[in-house]
Amino acid sequence: MTTFPPVIFALLLLFSHLSVSSISPISQLFESWCMQHGKTYSSEQEKQHRLKVFEDNYDFVNQHNHHMGSSSYTLALNGFADLTHHEFKADRLGLSAAAGIGFTRQNLGDTGFKGKIPASIDWRKNGAVTNVKDQGSCGACWSFSATGAIEGINKIVTESLVSLSEQELVDCDKTFNDGCGGGLMDYAFQFIKDNHGIDTEEDYPYVGRERSCNKEKLKRHVVTIDGYTDVLPNDENRLLQAVAAQPVSVGICGSERAFQLYSKGIFTGPCSTSLDHAVLIVGYGSENGVDYWIVKNSWGTHWGMNGYIHIQRNSGLSQGVCGINMLASYPIKTGQNPPPSPPPGPTRCNLFTYCSEGETCCCTRHIFGICFSWKCCEVDSAICCKDSRHCCPPDHPVCDTQRNQCLKRTGNTTRIEASEKRGFFNKFSNWSSFLQAWVL
């Protein structure tokens, strides 16, 4: 055992005390926050940068909560507290810009609500709302808003609550919507109507990025709708009638800094009416004489009140707080869903060879145009490369076997797709298993 002279021991204690005391309270708070939210960073330099951002957000939260005593809502250092406001806006929104540049509402109509409007309603208590989901760093808020509205009306009509696939919309709804690049709920409703239904989240789960459309799962019409109705813009009474009948999709401005760090209470702004985010109204109520909407977000349960926010209703603004009255719509459903489809069978390569559902048969040996050996590529509608060893997905159809990449042709050039649509390069499996490598 090592012993130190009294003087050296005293100095060690002093330096130890100085080392501990040199850690600022905000640094200690940041460390605790990182542990709470499971945050890690690629380097010490990045961590120090995030600490400065965190401290700036801390000052903003503290100023609001302690110097605006009359505010009806509070802010907190939630899971977005290490993001700058610019980073947050680029990362977590996704309502199409068309919402703010004269998007034409095609299906304006009456809400169809009959009877006296209840003083309050919460569709969560009626079992018509699924758990809060998280869109991640993908601008697919529109898909979550759309599926949430369909989940609600499906429960009301069929008495069955089924969580639906946002990933199907992100991957497959490309007529007007743009996956992680943004979209509109009306287009999603129309896509689902034209497709004769939508698959479940369990069967076609969300991965937070765009992929090739799974054509087999696209054929699984678990929940159907008859169409959709647009609520007359800037008519809060019509919107109230609609929400009294079912959950309703709405566009809002979700890019305010106070919205980023919202914790609880009735959000009253200040807030722009430039719509850039999509959410779901699942009810309404009143507290201390202030009316509010109950709004389900798609930023996970660590934001707001377990993923929800109360936004002021009857504010006196025709467009509503954050423009919530401007872009509302809901799906129409009057009947039951079709019976479950039988599971699709295997893909037949020839008389004796089959691949599993969702796979593509690729010939690995042929003579005079006749294939004598097949292997399976675990990508639906894949492109079989000429080396007879690899395959590429249909949205990246150019095989580069030298660099193990799948490329996408744009105009007269061929390039690797951007990182959010990273390319696949699949080796043929031993019939059913496969090896997948990402191109970064």
Task: Judge whether residue 58 has pLDDT over 70.
Answer: yes
DSSP 389: S
Q: Is 219 helix (H, G, I), strand (E, B) or coil?
A: coil
3-class secondary-structure state, position 348: strand
Identified catalytic residue from 57, 78, 141, 426:
141
| pLDDT exceeds cutoff 80 at 423 | no
pLDDT of residue 304 exceeding 70: yes
Marked catalytic residue, from 297, 355, 399, 406: 297
How does the average pLDDT of the chain come out, rounded? 85
Domains of the chain: 91-332 (3.90.70.10), 347-420 (no CATH)
Helices assigned H by DSSP within 326-423? none
The SS3 of residue 81 is coil
**What are 377-392's pLDDT values in tens digits?**
888 778 898 888 888 8
Q: Residue 267: beta bridge partners?
A: 311
297 is catalytic: yes
Q: Quote the pTM value.
A: 0.76
- Per residue in 185-202, pLDDT (tens digit) is 999 999 999 999 999 999
Q: What do you get for the CA distance between the two ends of the chain, in Å? A: 53
Residue with tokens 């919309």: 169
Long-range contacts of range 233-238, CB-CB < 8 Å, 24 or more positions apart? Answer: 233/105, 233/325, 233/326, 233/327, 233/328, 234/318, 234/319, 234/320, 234/325, 234/326, 235/325, 236/313, 236/314, 236/318, 236/320, 236/325, 238/110, 238/111
- Catalytic residue chosen out of the listed positions 154, 214, 271, 277: 277
Q: What's the pLDDT score for residue 97?
A: 61
- Give the pair of three-digit tokens for residue 48: 């120090």
Which residues, in sequence order, are bridge partners of residue 262? 75
pLDDT tens track for 137-160 = 999 999 999 999 999 999 999 999
Look at residue 343 in the predicted model and tell me its pLDDT. Answer: 66
